């Protein structure tokens, strides 16, 4: 009895695996209400894939103006304040069972997000974007755009409402 060659080749193929396997999701926050919108996507994804979420805040380099300029807190004070804010908000932002860690870093936000994703083997970055266009985009740039260009993993960019 002759068998169908198509049936044989199908049986020989390994079972299909999903190319998207999430174990670690990074959610950068700037502590604005709008940046929390990324969690509307990250939390259900983490639940579905049984993944862990890392919250991250990056403190951009500060510009200090000489004599008579703006008084800006030093980097250590800013870092401590950001850590306190992150600690206070973590439980309200992410269910404890889904939280891997909450991190504060110093440096240009886009570079720190990409660096962290590389160092920690992040599977997905979920972040909001301001949605600037035209001149606003040209002058302000886009953290989300830089992350999308340089991230070692997929990035889900959520437009702020």
Tokens of 72: 């800006």
List, in sequence order, every residue forming a beta bridge with 99; answer none if it has no partner: 53
Q: How many domains does the chain have?
A: 1
Cα–Cα nearest to 116, from 22, 106, 84: 106
Does residue 1 sit within a domain?
Answer: no
Question: Residue 93's domain is classified under what CATH number?
Answer: 3.40.50.620
Contact 145, 113 (CB under 8 A): no
Residues of the chain with pLDDT below 50 are 139-140
Which domain range does residue 92 map to? 21-159
- Residue 140 has a pLDDT of 46
- Residue 116 has a pLDDT of 98
- Residue 92 has a pLDDT of 87
Does residue 115 sit within a domain?
Answer: yes
- Residue 139 has a pLDDT of 45
- Residue 33 has a pLDDT of 81
Does residue 7 sit within a domain?
Answer: no
């Amino acid at each position: 009895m002759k068998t169908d060659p198509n049936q044989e080749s199908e049986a020989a193929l390994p079972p299909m695996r999903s190319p998207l396997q999430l174990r670690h999701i990074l959610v950068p926050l700037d502590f604005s209400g709008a940046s929390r919108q990324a969690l509307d996507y990250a939390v259900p994804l983490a639940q579905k894939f049984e993944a862990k979420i890392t919250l991250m805040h990056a403190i951009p380099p500060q510009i200090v103006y000489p004599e008579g300029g703006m008084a800006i807190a030093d980097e250590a004070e800013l870092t401590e304040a950001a850590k306190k804010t992150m600690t206070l908000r973590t439980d309200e932002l992410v269910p404890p069972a889904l939280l891997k860690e909450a991190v504060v870093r110093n440096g240009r936000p886009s570079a720190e997000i990409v660096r962290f994703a590389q160092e920690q083997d992040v599977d997905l970055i979920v972040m909001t974007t301001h949605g600037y266009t035209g001149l606003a985009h040209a002058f302000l740039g886009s953290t989300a755009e830089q992350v999308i260009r340089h991230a070692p993993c997929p990035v889900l960019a959520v437009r702020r409402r």
